[in-house]
Homo-oligomer: A and B are copies of this chain.
């Protein structure tokens, strides 16, 4: 059987930085060539970054992507890498195609090209354009209609892109009809908790369907609200994992393969599969080299081990935070330290991402702040080594109260807003990015203050439920202890009862159900999108279901105004859950007593939810 040394490069691209991304691709080619690889595969849209959103529609951007792709084969050849076949994702377009109503003018395409010997040898356009969750590809791209097969060193190599793998029929099935010996798939597939398990299962199933080895290469790193985890994979048609890259790290995964020799006549033909235009998927063949390579000694490939869920989540949050700060050209961050678990975890994440010297924690005590809050914040600063300072907010609060009458909820929110204004002032003065410290449970029910604790450029734990904030804090401390280091998070911040400390003896449970119960219910309502009848059937108390649903639905405006943060679950409160601000829809409330007090819809006003 012909041999082939395959390299998969999981690289950390930056949206819009076409020159920088091209250099990342060239460096991966140098590394792959140095490792003796014959074929290098880079991720989906590696030249432009992902997701490019409406940049895809900008003519100057399309032109720049096409120009970078056209220049790359010569740059590879000039670097002595002309013999290495390189598959790379880029934004293509048909600039002279007439505009189609409902389709972007200029018809952009989500494409991959195979480069060899100083030339673009073959092109492939993605067929299946995901348009759900965080994806909007039907807005940007026209679908491809062909399967591209390139004969390389006597092996027929087929190309597909990302979503093509998640759909039945189409390119994967056409790969089997084409008799390909290897299917390579560039991806930009965002991290979700437990997705790596589903991904392996999917790749195994598709390798079996394609009847050949499947090589899956994924982007790595944070980009706005998405975090890509890499986890590139090579799987045999019988399901054996031949190689696997680590999550959340740049990597070049190299694997030696024995592959079936190509036998098909090298001519184009129609498959039996239906394409997006209702016609047949066309199989197009290109011959680079029909002769197998001279035999060589294969090297063992690495198969990265899986890590515990808590470590996976912690790593995703660190990488998301690091890259958001770096890619937006900030160097340092600032956040308020309350002594509570949320700000402690965000501070520890920031120290892991940026180093303690780039993290500024500010204690902002009010007259309602307890002694233990101030002590716990100071303890955190000592454990992590971050810069620590204290600004008392009582004088500012008193100044407002001297000019305007604010009582009750308005006074509670005032304290949060004085803190927000102070942090933003320090941000403007010193150039730090402000981190918001709210968790997903709070955001879900609107338990936060607009322009108060909700200020900032990035919200590292906005997609982490409260019970998981505790879980990853415990994991991080235990991991430090196991390595003989100081656990970064004060145990008292983990163990004490949560309080916003905006009035005397306040407790979160004054306004909210216990967090373990709340998170269970939110998981079913938000993540699983179950209606109230289903929730009651699952055993939740009808009055609680009604109360929590009303809080969640009324908080839509606050969630929209919250800073972006890294997505770690199937549904966060950013791009993948799109509800109207103004909606009078009320879930039916089976079995709820009619005297359950229900707050009026107050989302645009900025109340701390649940107490309105």
Residue numbers of A with Cβ under 8 A of B are 14-18, 20, 51-55, 57-61, 64, 101-104, 128-132, 136, 138-139, 163, 166-168, 223-224, 274, 277-279, 324, 327-330, 391-393, 395-396, 398-400, 402-407, 409-410, 413-414, 417-418, 420-422, 424-429, 431, 433-434, 450-451, 455-458, 529, 531-533, 557, 561, 563-564, 577-588, 600-607
Q: Is the CB of B424 within 8 A of A451?
A: yes
Residues of B within 8 A of A451 (CB): 420-421, 424, 451, 455
Chain B: CB-nearest residue to A601: B329
Partner of A580, one of B55, B60, B400: B55
Chain B: CB-nearest residue to A167: B101
Extra A-B contacts (10), CB below 8 Å, given A406-B426, A410-B425: A101-B168, A102-B129, A223-B580, A274-B278, A330-B605, A395-B402, A413-B424, A424-B451, A427-B606, A457-B557
Q: List 7 A-B contacts (CB under 8 A).
A: A15-B583, A16-B585, A60-B532, A102-B132, A328-B581, A396-B396, A407-B429
A214 to B277: give the CA distance in the assembly, Å.
30
Query: When A582-B328, A584-B17, A584-B20 are in contact, do A605 and B428 touch as well, CB less than 8 Å?
Result: yes
A223 to B585: give the CA distance in the assembly, Å.
14
Partner of A224, one of B16, B329, B582, B585: B582
Query: Taking the nearest CB of chain B, how far is it from the CB of A573, in angstroms?
Result: 12
Chain B: CB-nearest residue to A51: B580
Q: Is the CB of B410 within 8 A of A417?
A: no
Q: Is the CB of B424 within 8 A of A329?
A: no
Q: Is the CB of B163 within 8 A of A54?
A: no
Q: Is the CB of A414 within 8 A of B421?
A: yes
Q: Is the CB of A578 within 8 A of B403?
A: no
Query: Taking the nearest CB of chain B, how far is it from the CB of A570, in angstroms?
Result: 13
Q: Is the CB of A327 within 8 A of B224?
A: no
Residues of B within 8 A of A278 (CB): 274, 277-279
Q: Ordered nearest first, which 4 A-B pairs have the shortest CB separation?
A: A278-B278, A457-B604, A16-B585, A410-B428
A284 to B532: give the CA distance in the assembly, Å.
38
